[in-house]
Amino acid sequence: MITQGQMMLETAQNIIKRTAKLLGLSEDISKRLIEPEQYHEFNFPVLMDSEKVRLFKGWRIQHNSALGPYKGGIRFHPETVREEVQALATLMTIKCAVAGLPYGGSKGGVVVDPKTLSKTELERLSRAYAKQIAPIIGPYVDVPAPDVNTNPLIMSYMIEEYLKKVKSQKSKVKSESKKLKVDKNEESYYLSTFTGKPVGKGGTLGRTEATGRGGVIILKALLEKIFNQDDSTKILSRLNSSPDKTVGVVKQKVSKNFVSPSSNNLTIAVQGFGNVGYYFAKIAQEEGFKVVAVSDSKGGIIKLNNQFLINLISKKYPNPNHPIGK
């Protein structure tokens, strides 16, 4: 039976195969675009609060660096598998290329349910993983970032461990307990190895809500294109001729009879209410859309009104573990 990770990888690779065929690329080039440049798999120990040592499995897959340094997040999830990480690294390469960014694609992941760890265990896990990837990352090599179940705090743990590694290598001193010096400008340079850091450690204002905000911006741009009479005909034509079965639902929804988004009659349901879903719902509502349903892994709520959504957000954040369905 094919797993979800294998399905994701097959989907990502099919994007490249179809595009390569349309562009008339050679089989050699197509293969190079499909296969990652480097796989890194780790089995690393972490000391638990019980004083027992637990072994964790993790990956950093560096897909393609033709356009620049690898770029991609790090996720902590109990169902993380190599195929999923590879698929996401592949998609990062595609996204950066399509957006015209001077980056390649990579992704990292650890098989763990962070909800089962204490704060100190989560910190030790984050630092241990950072030690594993430290030799293969850098400002012009590979730039990690937050992803599923990781955040600025976890990035701060990781950058601290990375800086320790840099200091240790620079001074040729093995012990990390000894005070070592790195020039301030040089430290700023190495801090750029990670994005999504806390603002006080070189992070960027607006980064936390950036993905959700980007989703709303793309939604608005898509709707504007659909409601343009000339463009809507082209979109419908492309959807109807697409070999991809996943567009079937979209084809049923796209119609010239849609009302304009400016009329505020469009409604939105958000599946997943983590960092991305939360900010998407919040910003979409601020932009005049009607968010009528939200859900997370614990359940969902439908028939929301604006005040109910605001109350829900206040309960869910700053306590991300608050279940929507209860």
Active site residues: 107
Alpha-carbon separation of residue 121 from 5, 41, 48, 139 (angstroms) = 27, 21, 6, 28
Query: Which residues face 62 on adjacent strands?
Result: 38, 106
Q: What is the DSSP string of 68-126?
A: SSEEEEEEEETT--HHHHHHHHHHHHHHHHHTT-S--EEEEEEE--GGGS-HHHHHHHH
Which residue has tokens 């109990």? 78
Phi, psi of 269 (to 5 degrees): -115, 135
Residue 270 is inside which H or E element, if any?
Answer: strand 267-271
Measured distance CA(298)–CA(96) in Å, rounded: 33
Asked if 161 and 90 touch (Cβ cutoff 8 Å), the reply is no
Measured distance CA(112)–CA(118) in Å, rounded: 12
